[in-house]
A and B are shown apart, each in its own frame.
Chain A
Amino acid sequence: MVESAPVIGADHALTPTLSRKRKRGDERMIPLLHIPPQALFGQLLLGLINGAFYAMLSLGLAVIFGLLNIINFAHGAQYMLGAFCAWFLLNLAGVGYWPSLVIAPIAVALFGIVLERAFLRWIYRLDHLYGLLLTFGLAIIIEGLFRQQYGSSGQPYSIPPELTGVWNLGFMFLPIYRGWVIAASAVVCFGTWFLIERTRLGAYLRAATENPVLVQAFGINVPRMVTLTYGFGVGLAALAGVLAAPIYQVSPLMGSNIIIVVFAVVVIGGMGSILGSIVSGFALGLVEGLTKVFYPEASSTVIFVVMAIVLLLKPAGLFGRAA
């Protein structure tokens, strides 16, 4: 589970206006909910940030699963690699956050392309289980190597100077970096959705997801498209890792902490559904945040409870096409 980074200014999240209002006339709301609004907004914001990462990661998984039929268990490790790549760039080469935001995803995507060419392409015709085991094994190896070298504790990565500080939203203070993460994630998710659902390239991708043999017989180099798609999904994970580095610290285990939740998000959204992974990523982040406010004991299990309910009522997921 992603443990909430320190609650964002929960103590200070009241604007003067709100606190005066509360002193004067808001007593009714407080006894009703037993929740101070600053805690509510703080947790909702945290939920939205976690949701931004869930959405980006489950989106990459959905894209990969759709075309490759591979359940990419190495996704968490690739997210971690993105964060480490940014950390290396900063500490070994003096390259800052903004260039890393481009370089790290490309570097990790190239690593993913090598993995696809070397390992994954041999197992597409086999059962899902083989892909799952292979990528799970790769994840263990990658994380083990990093833990050997860097231990389990996190390396700090500081927020770029342009994004330090807070915005006063009137009802709460929003740390600028967190606002940036939410905005960047929303743009990336929308861009990916648009690319897949509204462009010619996306039509090739959707068609090849349905019937790769026929798409190839129309003259499209499907094996190359598969390789690039895997690289794209892995690059998305690495981009999420770079965005996460200043918030969660750079740690070899950051990927395995988040990936289980992300898989639950993918199942809830519907395996392979692009829109489903985006919407359920953000929504479940919010659900998790709300649970932290109203019943904190359940906050780390609520997503799995939702998953169980969704699987019972709609086995293909909220946005999934029935098989």
Chain B
Amino acid sequence: MAEAAVLDKDLLRVRDLHAWYGESHILHGMDFAVAEGEVATLLGRNGAGKTTTLRAIMGIAAQRRGSIRFGEEDLIGLPSNRIARRGIAYCPEERGIFASLTVEENLLLPPPVRPGGMSVEELYELFPNLAERRRSQGTKLSGGEQQMLAIGRILRTGARLLLLDEPTEGLAPVIVQQIGSLIRTLKRKGFTILLVEQNFHFAATVADRHFVVEHGRVIDRIRGDEIEGQLGKLHDYLGV
């Protein structure tokens, strides 16, 4: 009974997820769940399958098998545009800022999929740099600003679950701190976030739950409040 109650709170529930790119079998049965309002991370080395997991949830590119339950529905057979319409938004590792669009066009690009998204004014309040440069070409922004734009544009859509792929990669420590506080702000606003990270020191500051991924499987689960005691084990997992 207790477990059923926990199940009910899960917004995303991935079961025995396999994924392939062409002939290469990348995910070998991923199993994890993210509860509503929670921030969870997928930790692991390069090539462990973290990005592929996000892409598989989003329905992009890879062939996939298994079960991806979002709320009441299984997403496994849907094309990515219909998955987005269910209320999931994706921020790719390479950020995906469009060079032929201005900052504002980039921000307005993802169409609202559900009511309750943030307004453009709120976003400009949250990211004043973007407001100043709204007429610039999207790719003329600094790396940190591009990351803010990539996250900002998916907050407008009303999506409940955000998939963020290495939002701190290649950014200066001060920007990493800003992104950390942004993620905590988003959690307070009720977003559910699944984060891919290699930087577990950063992950430890924002996440409620960590899934350690290796060879396309979840090999360990660590609660956010336990991570301090598990650092040795994490070092082994991540090879740092």
Contact = CB atoms under 8 A, between A and B. Distances in A.
A221 B78 CA distance: 12
B171 to A, nearest CB: 20
Interface in B72-123: 79-85, 89-90, 92, 96, 98-101, 105, 108-111, 113
Contacts of B85: 219
Nearest to A207: B98
B58 interface: yes
Nearest to A214: B96
A203 B61 CA distance: 23
Nearest to B163: A217
Contacts of A121: none
Contact of B101 (A206, A218, A219): A206
A199 to B, nearest CB: 10
Interface in B45-92: 58-61, 79-85, 89-90, 92
Contacts of A219: 81-82, 84-85, 110-111, 113, 157
A317 to B, nearest CB: 16
Contacts, number: 60
B111 A218 contact: yes
Contact of B90 (A206, A217, A220): A217
Interface string A190-224: 00000000001001101101110111111111100
Contacts of B81: 216-222
A218 B110 contact: yes
A210 B84 contact: no
A164 B96 CA distance: 53
A218 B100 contact: no
A218 B83 CA distance: 9
The B interface is mostly helix, strand or loop, or mixed, namely loop
Most chain A CB within 10 A, of B59, B79, B96, B111, is at: B96
Contact of A203 (B58, B99, B101): B101
A212 B124 CA distance: 26
Which of under 10, 10 to 19, 20 to 34, or 35 or more describes the interface residues of A?
10 to 19
B161 to A, nearest CB: 13
A204 B81 CA distance: 13
A204 B59 contact: no
Contact of A211 (B59, B98, B105, B108): B98
B101 to A, nearest CB: 6
A216 B98 contact: no
Nearest to B111: A219
Contacts of B80: 213, 216-217
Contacts of A222: 81
Interface in A218-246: 218-222
B108 A203 contact: yes
A217 B83 CA distance: 8
Nearest to A215: B109
A220 B111 CA distance: 8
Given A217-B58, A219-B85, A204 B96 contact: no
A259 to B, nearest CB: 27
Contacts of A203: 101, 105, 108-109
Nearest to A224: B81
Contact of B98 (A200, A206, A217): A206
Nearest to A213: B60
Contacts of A207: 98, 100-101, 109
A207 B102 CA distance: 11
A202 to B, nearest CB: 9
A214 B92 contact: yes
A136 to B, nearest CB: 29
Contacts of A200: 108
A215 B154 CA distance: 12
A121 to B, nearest CB: 14
B109 A218 contact: yes
Nearest to A221: B81
B160 to A, nearest CB: 14
B96 A211 contact: yes
A226 to B, nearest CB: 12
B90 to A, nearest CB: 5
B235 to A, nearest CB: 34
Most chain A CB within 10 A, of B84, B90, B100, B101, is at: B100
Nearest to B95: A214
B100 A209 contact: yes
A213 B81 CA distance: 9
B84 A217 contact: yes
A210 B96 CA distance: 9
Interface of B: 58-61, 79-85, 89-90, 92, 96, 98-101, 105, 108-111, 113, 154, 157
8 contacts: A203-B109, A207-B98, A210-B100, A213-B80, A218-B81, A220-B111, A221-B81, A222-B81
Q: Which 7 A-B pairs have the closest CB atoms?
A: A219-B84, A218-B110, A206-B100, A217-B80, A214-B96, A203-B105, A207-B98
Given A213-B61, A219-B81, 13 more contacts: A203-B101, A203-B105, A210-B98, A211-B98, A213-B80, A215-B109, A217-B58, A217-B80, A218-B109, A218-B110, A218-B154, A219-B157, A221-B81
Interface of A: 200, 203-204, 206-207, 209-211, 213-222
